[in-house]
Amino acid sequence: MTKGQIEARISEAVSKFEIEYMGRGPKDIKTFINQDLVIIRIHGFLSISEQKLSETSHGIKLIKEMRTALFESARDYLESIIKPVINANIVSTYCDVSTKTGEKIIVITTDRNLEA
């Protein structure tokens, strides 16, 4: 597979993951492979109620805590669906959300250069 095909397959897998495990599919998702990094950028993942809740600092804290807990509980599954696509071992997976922009970033580090 080409780099673009691998990136597209990762985006499809993560979109399915978002629907199944996070309860909502993203409006847009893009995956970028850069050497031993896989960067997944997701837009439009917040629900309408989360968008409303994000209007206060306490609400932002609650959203981040809940989304982090959900992600951590499903991390092994996410890694298990991405590993066969990239054909590499996953060293670590990171995730952060922005309630300001409605964006989520997932960064996966691997044990080898995926562009080689």
* pTM above threshold 0.85: yes
* Rounded Cα–Cα distance for residues 70 and 47 (Å): 15
CATH number of 3-110: 3.30.980
Q: What are phi and psi of 3, to 5 degrees?
A: -55, -45
The confidence score (pLDDT) of residue 116 equals 82
Tell me: pLDDT of 93 over 90: yes
Residue ranges per structural domain of the chain: 3-110
How many other CB atoms sit within 10 Å of the CB of residue 8?
16
> Alpha-carbon distance 73 to 66, whole Å?
11
pLDDT per position as a tens digit, 2-46: 999 999 999 999 999 988 887 778 899 999 999 999 999 999 988
